[in-house]
Structure 1
Amino acid sequence: MDESNDPHAVNSLVAEDADASAGMVRWDPLHSLWNGTMLLATLALALPLFTWGAFLMFLLTTGAGLLLGHSVGFHRRLIHGSFECPLWLERILVWVGTAVGISGPFWMVRTHDLRDWAQRQPVCHDYLAHRRPMLIDAWWQMHCRLQLAQPPRFDLGRIGRDSFYVFLERTWMLQQVPIAFLLFVAGGWSWVAWGICARITASVTGHWFVGHLAHRIGPQTWLVDDAGVQAHDVPWAAIPTMGEAWHNNHHAFPDSARIGLYPGQSDWAYRFILLLQALGLARSIRTPEPLATRKALTPAAPTATVQDHAQLSAS
């Protein structure tokens, strides 16, 4: 992954002769059985074994995983390279992201970059645009994969050669075993059911649901020129997603470590990155201020242009 290139580029994807529109949606047995098993176990075990202690642990572990791993480790560091940190810290954050339970790091990067690239094309497949009705999109995204007729290829660069990340990619489901053991020792089966099954189900389902909404309905500040799919913000999801739900901002400035750009837009992940910076553990943090006049953007509401630029520069 060459982070010296255009920060707005889709870093791992090589799109020579690729077509984002033609393809077939196929059942993905690995992720389908995993996601389905976690959901059934949540309904069959977590709900009957409910305790307030287990539920509090579920909230804390889900929030910590989404903050440290999914948002900071996977998305803002590994995928976009929006800040720099020591390799040992990056690996810890990526392990936490893997422990969220959606998939391994390589699958997450490829899935993100394929969708990011496709949505910038004038036309892309309904699967990549979240264009189908909610129940169909839920089945597609959590139980299927898209097989493009002319797919792009991927070059993961440094991270693809990292032996630790190769290990995580091969064993991402098994990473739940030591966590389950610790939870059992701490609180018994109720903690395992809520700390593994319910946590993974909430993370997988929430990841799909917010992504579905973020490409269909909600506030917009910017439109990306020539993109076939535009993004929307999902304000109510800002806190549970740690700032990821300001998706319109992210489409406009994908390389930015700060996604909540305007007053009142909560972004806990960016605050955590600033904490790392204060501790001397993060540097070269990218923010959108120098990019506010990016030529590929058009204000969604022309009357708000001056105000939005002023707020962005003053933040």
Structure 2
Amino acid sequence: MASTATPEAPVIAGDRLTPGWLHNSWMYLMLAAAVGWGWSSWSGPRGLASAGLVVLTVGLGHSTGLHRGIIHHAYRCGRLTRGALAYLAVLSGLGGPISWLRVHYFRDYWQNRLDCPPYFRYDHSMARDYYWNLHFDLVPGEISRYQIPPEDLYDPWLVFLEKTWYLHVIGLAGLIWAFFGFEAMIICVPVRVSVSILGHWFVGFMTHKYGYARYAIDDAREHGYNSWVLGALSFGEGFHNNHHAHPSSAKMSTEWYELDLGWYLVAGLRAVGLVWDVQVVGHDPTQRDRAKEHRFRWHWPWQD
């Protein structure tokens, strides 16, 4: 094992962790601006505008476009649609698309093995997960191990967005400031981006630790859990046990009581002809071969 970060050496097999200076600086810059001017800048209309941008950038861009479309190929679409959705994902302020593509393949590879290293497991505290996952980047010793499709990893548009993602968010901030004022910019960029970054991390941590599960995955270290509340708030990303079992499904909910708002965005794109060949749990063979449905199982914090 080797790590530049902690004596516990959270990664293995030649991979290493390095401080993510750009992402760290970006997150704390957004947090500082949000804390410093957020309360004095808040208003109902600005909050609604910021929420609308969350739907466009996190819901339509990151969850629907980047996660379900580009990473999991849960549907097909044209190059223009793919590029536009990737651009919306960049405007979420969560980071570059190639970084998300890489880390998703890294996590999927290790979490579906019994020898999953500590960095990708969730048997540690929230404080440690915050430190590891929001402050360090994984540098693979041998990237070919993760079998990332070259057409995605080296896509010219995604590579361009990876190198310039923060500039586009800063440009959006400048436009909002110029046309709607400083206070609108604070609510629609630093506050929105801060909530998106911390919210994305929090949902990922909680739905790997707590909730209910109806699937077990043979020979896998992490199975994920579902949360009704977090699933609804995160455009379906909080139904993580479902997603582990059905990774290629564009619909992350599997029951009527699970509200997957991201699925409605996909369905809307399909209705207007922008995406097609949409893979849907229950209608297409989306279930992972090693995923087995079992009795409804809960895991609560007090069971740790």
Q: 1:185-234: per-residue Cα shift (whole Å, max 9, x none)? A: 34211111111111111111011000001111110010111101121012
**Percent identity among equivalent residues?**
26
Counterpart check, 1:187 vs 2:173: no
Contact 1:131 1:137 in 2 (8 A): no
RMSD of aligned residue pairs (Cα, Å): 2.2
Counterpart check, 1:101 vs 2:84: no
Matching residue of 2:24: 32
Q: 1:38-78: per-residue Cα shift (whole Å, max 9, x none)? A: 11111112223222222222222122211111111110100
User: How many residues in Structure 1 have an aligned counterpart in Structure 2?
Assistant: 285
Matching residue of 1:92: 84
Please, which of 238, 247, 250 is the counterpart of residue 254 of structure 1? 247
Q: 1:232-269: per-residue Cα shift (whole Å, max 9, x none)? A: 01211122211111111000010111111111111122
Matching residue of 1:205: 198
CA–CA distance in 1 between the matches of 2:171 and 2:286? 45
Contact 1:83 1:282 in 2 (8 A): yes
Amino acid at match of 1:43: V
Contact 2:105 2:146 in 1 (8 A): no
CA–CA distance in 2 between the matches of 1:220 and 1:191? 41
CA–CA distance in 1 between the matches of 2:122 and 2:87? 28
Unaligned runs of 5+ in 2: 1-9, 298-304
Please, which of 149, 155, 164 is the counterpart of residue 162 of structure 1? 155
Say which SS state the counterpart of residue 91 (structure 1) adopts. helix
Matching residue of 1:300: 294
Unaligned runs of 5+ in 1: 1-18, 304-315
Matching residue of 1:57: 49
Amino acid at match of 1:297: A
Matching residue of 2:257: 264
Alignment of 1:1-315 (within 5 A): 21=12, 25-147=17-139, 152=145, 155-289=148-282, 290-291=284-285, 295-301=289-295
Using a 3 Å threshold, how does the CA distance of structure 1 residues 38 and 281 change in structure 2: closer, same or farther? Answer: same
Name whichever of 22-31 and 184-193 sits farther off: 22-31
CA–CA distance in 1 between the matches of 2:286 and 2:44? 46
How far apart are 1:148 and its partner, in Å? 5.8
CA–CA distance in 2 between the matches of 1:275 and 1:38? 32
CA–CA distance in 2 between the matches of 1:300 and 1:190? 51
Contact 1:258 1:267 in 2 (8 A): yes
Contact 2:16 2:138 in 1 (8 A): yes
How far apart are 1:20 and its partner, in Å? 6.2
Contact 1:74 1:97 in 2 (8 A): yes
Matching residue of 1:307: none
Using a 3 Å threshold, how does the CA distance of structure 1 residues 100 and 46 change in structure 2: closer, same or farther? Answer: same
Amino acid at match of 2:157: F
CA–CA distance in 1 between the matches of 2:85 and 2:288? 31
Say which SS state the counterpart of residue 123 (structure 1) adopts. coil
How far apart are 1:291 and its partner, in Å? 3.1
Say which SS state the counterpart of residue 301 (structure 1) adopts. strand
CA–CA distance in 2 between the matches of 1:257 and 1:269? 8
Q: 1:94-132: per-residue Cα shift (whole Å, max 9, x none)? A: 100011111111001001111111100112122212332
Say which SS state the counterpart of residue 188 (structure 2) adopts. helix
Say which SS state the counterpart of residue 219 (structure 1) adopts. strand
How far apart are 1:293 and its partner, in Å? 7.2
**Normalising by structure 1, what TM-score?**
0.84
Name whichever of 142-151 and 40-49 sits farther off: 142-151
Name whichever of 204-213 and 155-164 sits farther off: 155-164
CA–CA distance in 1 between the matches of 2:249 and 2:221? 22
